[in-house]
Chain A
Amino acid sequence: MTRGAVGLAAAGLAALGAATLALLAAIGRVTLFTAATVSHLVRPPFYAREFATALVQIGFFSLPVVGLTALFTGGALALQIYAGGARFSAEAVVPQIVAIGMVRELGPVLVGLMIAARVTSSIAAEIATMKVTEQIDALVTLSTDPMKYLTVPRVLAATLVMPALVAVGDIIGILGGYIVATGRLEFNAAAYLQNTAQFIEPLDIVSSLVKGAAFGFIAALMGCYFGMTSSRGAMGVGRATKSAVVAAAVLILGANFLLTEAFFSL
């Protein structure tokens, strides 16, 4: 091996090592932030007004985007299942597959991703801007812990309200499938609803709601983490927002796999 090749390999290894260390450091920082958030969840003071505001901002104002996403997805799912099922004369399974697909998988994941886009970005941009404009420092000088005042209400609200949003998404998704199946594919309305209701099991609903809570926690936590740790300036705010959304989306998909695997084993 020539000296040039050895040098190149060493530089490559050094870059890999540096990237690995940076990744581990980032994981460590997020873990510490998560631990701090959880510890603050159970220690007063609690800011009820901020929690209520977050509940409305994250829950109520996300309903339109959640509803539309679920409605279109449910409708498209019904068409796809019908087309696929027709290949082996199984068109009749549309109600069951739409129901299980929406409740166990698409409902929580799509609502999670939409919340990552809408809520995580908003939280990260808001908190990062507060940092840039010294509002976080101002909170500290006013004897208020930014973790308690900014992070805890948002994370708690997202964790509690997301199961409700997912439930709404599941129902509207099934409704989307119902509208397409009865209007376009000539399914009997009563039979469609009966098949849906009979096929869904309590564990399906539990898995959907648990995923919702986990995704809500991740979405709000990432927004708060990247907002709190953003660098100064407009570029810092932009970078924090982008990083928060990407991290939340990836973590939601990763958590979805782990939770699916866990419920699969039950």
Chain B
Amino acid sequence: MITFENIHKSFGPNHVLKGVDLTVDQGRSMVVIGGSGTGKSVLIKSVLGLIQPDRGTITVGGRATTRHDRDAFLSRFGMLFQGAALFDSLPVWQNVAFRLLRGRLKLPRDQARATAIDKLRQVGLGEDVADRFPAELSGGMQKRVGLARAIAADPDIIFFDEPTTGLDPIMAGVINTLIRDIVTDLGVTAITITHDMSSVHAIADDVAMLHDGKIQWTGPVGTLNDALDPHVVQFVNGRADGPIATIR
């Protein structure tokens, strides 16, 4: 279980998170929605220590993130970045096997390569992709490779940051399905950041809406369309009129 308690974060005068409280139950897929610049990515980066909250506590499995052994802690996570964030200088298989080739795992290269190819197959890519470089792949393929890298070391928590941004609707659908399958098959806890409503319905067990630095609404995905909160109604229906200011 991941819990966020009273998380605050400012960047200069910009107070992005103003006391976020959120609980993600083990084995559930939580999707955090909200407008651009509302601090959704800041929230998941805070768990991983990429950004330090100014105030508040984040716990994973009942222990504060700051009290874990850093290496062991990070090995529990996988993350798919918005732009995939693949390493340009490494071929695809080395991107996927990055963690397997280094640190506490440090598998032999042939074993790491075999595992990487297996993970590539899980996300629908063939062995022929393994020796290509990220720049030679389409955006959708890069996302798949990023996904394979996120699951390479069998994490029990996966973060997906805007997984369908920049993809055409068909490829977005493919990625959504892959994410759903991975979350279900591996039984992992997942937090996805998105403002793509088709992703929300495809991926989520639970949904939380972040607005004005706080969790505005949270509930099972099945109740999202029936939510009475005007912020949620405006966001879900993509309306310009409503309590959410359209000029930010």
Q: Do A and B come from one complex?
A: yes
> Do B83 and A144 have beta carbons less than 8 Å apart?
no
B231 at the interface (CB under 8 A from A): no
Residue of B nearest to A49 (CB): B101
8 Å CB interface, A121-152 against B: 130, 133-135, 137-138, 140-144
Please indicate the chain A residues that have their CB under 8 angstroms from the CB of B99 in the complex. 142-143
Residue of B nearest to A134 (CB): B85
> Do B74 and A143 have beta carbons less than 8 Å apart?
yes
A53 to B71, CA, bound (A): 26
A53 to B94, CA, bound (A): 15
> Do B49 and A133 have beta carbons less than 8 Å apart?
no
Contact of A133 among B77, B79, B83 (CB under 8 A): B83
Contacts A45-B103, A135-B87; A141 near B75 (Cβ below 8 A): no
- The size class of the interface chain B forms with chain A is 20 to 34
B71 to A: closest C-beta gap in Å = 5
B98 at the interface (CB under 8 A from A): yes
Contacts A137-B45, A137-B50; A144 near B85 (Cβ below 8 A): no
Contacts A137-B45, A138-B79; A45 near B102 (Cβ below 8 A): yes
- Interface secondary structure of B, over-half rule: loop
Contacts A143-B75, A144-B103; A134 near B81 (Cβ below 8 A): yes
Q: Mark each residue of chain B from 72 to 115: 1 if its CB lies under 8 Å from any CB of chain A, else 0.
A: 00110111011101111100000000110011100000000000
B48 at the interface (CB under 8 A from A): yes
> Do A138 and B48 have beta carbons less than 8 Å apart?
no
Please indicate the chain B residues that have their CB under 8 angstroms from the CB of A138 in the complex. 79, 81, 85-87
A53 to B90, CA, bound (A): 12
A216 to B226, CA, bound (A): 64
Contacts A133-B83, A135-B87; A140 near B103 (Cβ below 8 A): no
Please indicate the chain A residues that have their CB under 8 angstroms from the CB of B86 in the complex. 135, 138
A140 to B48, CA, bound (A): 8
> Do A134 and B74 have beta carbons less than 8 Å apart?
no
> Do A134 and B103 have beta carbons less than 8 Å apart?
no
Please indicate the chain B residues that have their CB under 8 angstroms from the CB of A135 in the complex. 85-88
A7 to B131, CA, bound (A): 66
> Do B49 and A140 have beta carbons less than 8 Å apart?
yes
Residue of A nearest to B78 (CB): A141
- The size class of the interface chain A forms with chain B is 10 to 19
Contact of B102 among A130, A140, A141, A144 (CB under 8 A): A144
Contacts A45-B102, A134-B81; A141 near B87 (Cβ below 8 A): no
A134 to B: closest C-beta gap in Å = 4
A138 to B79, CA, bound (A): 8
B222 to A: closest C-beta gap in Å = 31
A143 to B71, CA, bound (A): 6
A78 to B: closest C-beta gap in Å = 42
Most buried by A among B77, B85, B88: B85
A152 to B: closest C-beta gap in Å = 14
B101 to A: closest C-beta gap in Å = 9
B104 to A: closest C-beta gap in Å = 8
Contacts A45-B102, A45-B103; A141 near B48 (Cβ below 8 A): yes
Residue of B nearest to A50 (CB): B89
A144 to B75, CA, bound (A): 11
Please indicate the chain B residues that have their CB under 8 angstroms from the CB of A134 in the complex. 81-83, 85
Please indicate the chain A residues that have their CB under 8 angstroms from the CB of B75 in the complex. 143
Please indicate the chain A residues that have their CB under 8 angstroms from the CB of B83 in the complex. 133-134
B213 to A: closest C-beta gap in Å = 21
Residue of A nearest to B98 (CB): A142
> Do B77 and A141 have beta carbons less than 8 Å apart?
yes
> Do A141 and B74 have beta carbons less than 8 Å apart?
yes
Q: Which 9 A-B pairs have the closest CB atoms?
A: A138-B85, A134-B85, A143-B74, A134-B81, A141-B79, A142-B99, A143-B103, A135-B85, A137-B50
A-B contact list, 8 entries, CB within 8 Å: A45-B102, A135-B85, A135-B87, A137-B85, A138-B86, A141-B79, A142-B74, A142-B102
Which residues of A come within 8 Å of B, CB atoms? 45, 47, 53, 130, 133-135, 137-138, 140-144
Excluding A140-B50, A143-B99, A144-B102, 16 further A-B contacts by CB distance (< 8 Å) are A45-B102, A45-B103, A133-B83, A134-B81, A134-B82, A134-B83, A135-B87, A137-B50, A137-B81, A138-B86, A138-B87, A140-B48, A141-B79, A142-B102, A143-B71, A144-B98
